[in-house]
Amino acid sequence: MKVLVPVKRVIDYNVKARVKSDQSGVDLANVKMSMNPFCEIAVEEAVRLKEKGLVEEIIAVSIGPIQAQETIRTALAMGADRGILVQTDADPEPLEVAKLLKSVAEAEGPGLILMGKQAIDGDNNAVGQMLSALLGWPQATFASKLELDGQTARVTREVDGGLQTLELDLPAVVTADLRLNEPRYASLPNIMKAKKKTIDIKTVDDFGGVAPGHLKVLKVAEPAKRVAGVKVESAAELVTKLKTEAGVL
Amino acid sequence: MAVLVVADHDNVSLKDNTHKTVTAALALSGDVDVLVAGQNVAGVAAEAAKITGVRKVLTAESDALGKQIAEALASCVTPLMAGYDAVLAPATSVGKNFAPRVAALLDVAPISEILEVVDANTFVRPIYAGNALETVQSSDAKKVITVRSTAFKAAEEGGSAPIEAVDAGPGAPHTRFVSDEIVKSDRPELAGAKIVVSGGRAMGSAEEFHRVIEPLADKLGAAVGASRAAVDAGYAPNDYQVGQTGKVVAPQLYVAVGISGAIQHLAGMKDSKVIVAINKDGDAPIFQVADYGLVADYKTAVPELMEALTAAGL
């Protein structure tokens, strides 16, 4: 079985996003970029499935600028077999990303699409669900455990209040939550090996093109800052202030 | 225009998130209907009918809807959209799961976790873990929106809307429910609690977390939360996690015990009305957002706080 793992190049999760002074967006110039952490978890899970002998081939696909090759290269160094870059300098909306990925999936015929639950830039948490709907495949989002058994996948999901376990007929879309696994660091030999693996560079037109966006960003602003309050000397003083000054007790 | 709100419930009772989502919907239109999709939901529908401003309550019932399976919810909601210009769902694990599916089936762009309705086409939503707020204008004729309910006041009760059944749709033929592990608790729910007490990595063990955080929470009638570090270390279950990747809370009072205040935690609680931080490191970033900071070891500070609360008659 083939597994398709979409990966996104985003601002590194340790870097604090800064809003541009003209409020047109977040400043990404000279900012460290990395693979979206949830995508990394998805790649790791695919590699573990391959190590268990449940998967033959892992294809990492990214939609983005030419630099997104580095992100695919990271996935290859972790253990993915080959990559596809759908090159575009536009920043397609989740709906367009889902449509492009649908075309990629139709061309590749994977038994499973394993991807992050959301990208930490747009925080939309939408592409996996939309891709699943467009393909007419079942979905399991926010996965914390994944077991493959022949033609089905058993997925434990993190839901409000606890966990839910579902069984899906394959092919299916599964999106990774934080506790699915802890991604490995690529070893130096694997990084070297990854340089020899293939990345096919395609255009969006190879996969049906991109329609104009449905959402127009009018502005991007910084949230109101919270100001530090006061330090209290004792628990007793804290309770007094909460009662009389803040009125929350 | 007419707007459909998809209710948050557990087949037994209606959740407050529904009331908050109705408030967001009423900012779009005066014609707001509520869909209660589940199993044996007559009681939930009766509760929804009481929300002021609701025109009509729709019920749809099937096994798969009872388990809130995304495919079933999407195939129930999508045909209903012929009669609505927008659908709003609270950004819970259920809402986030099915709403983008509806958007894809309608060929529109979903709008996730809105904080504000600017006008019928324009919304404010957080990006980059709340480090930036994006104002987006939608050109879609039909809108699919999830609502961050902490940003909206709950609609009042006092109405008596009519209730009617609608088609449940084809369910989820390729998805089977296996099991649920829902944590039972007498404490208030984290997402809607008026007071939240959260513990961090400083607790050092699950036993210590129970011994320190839970009695304080019970004394205050609070929900229990935890930082990601505490959850990752196994001191608290994952559904306690407050932060960018966990739950976003905005209670009247948030008490952070032994939490340093990583950006990812702050993203989940910085909209709380009053923040109290107890940490022995006076330079911890949590103090930059706290209204009241107590620089002390929680081991002595929490027992003293319990005593002071008792002395104050709580």
**CB-CB neighbors (< 8 A) of A129 in chain B:** 70, 96-101, 104
Per-residue pLDDT band at B11 (split at 50, 70, 90): very high
pLDDT number for residue B202: 96
Which of residues A15 and B67 earns the better pLDDT score? B67
Beta bridge partners of B145: B88, B111
Do B12 and B40 form a contact (C-beta atoms < 8 A)?
Answer: no
Q: Do A160 and B92 touch (CB under 8 A)?
A: yes
**Which residue does chain A place closest to B98, by CA atoms?**
A129
Name the residue among B289, B285, B288 with its Cα closest to residue B269: B289
- What's the full length of chain A, in residues? 249
Does B260 have pLDDT greater than 90? yes
Q: How far is CA B8 from CA A60, A76, B272, B307, in A?
A: 36, 41, 22, 38
Percent of chain A with pLDDT over 70: 100
Per-residue pLDDT tens digits for B43-59: 999 999 999 999 999 99
| Per-residue pLDDT tens digits for A28-75 | 999 999 999 999 999 999 999 999 999 999 999 999 999 999 999 999
CB contacts < 8 A, A to B, total 253
Q: Which letter does DSSP use for residue B82 in this model?
A: G
Condensed to tens digits (0 to 9), the pLDDT of residues A153-178 reads 999 999 988 899 999 999 999 999 98
Structure tokens, A240? 């007094």
pLDDT for res A196: 97
CB interface of B with A, residues 190-229, below 8 Å: 191, 195, 220, 228
CA distance A197 to chain B (A): 32
Whether residue A48 lies within 8 A of chain B, CB to CB, comes out as no
Residues B312 and B314: their CA atoms lie apart, in Å, by: 6
How far away is chain B from the Cα of A61, in angstroms, using its nearest Cα?
A: 20
User: Taking CB atoms and an 8 Å cutoff, what residues of chain A touch B179?
Assistant: 164-165
Token pair belonging to B194: 């008026």
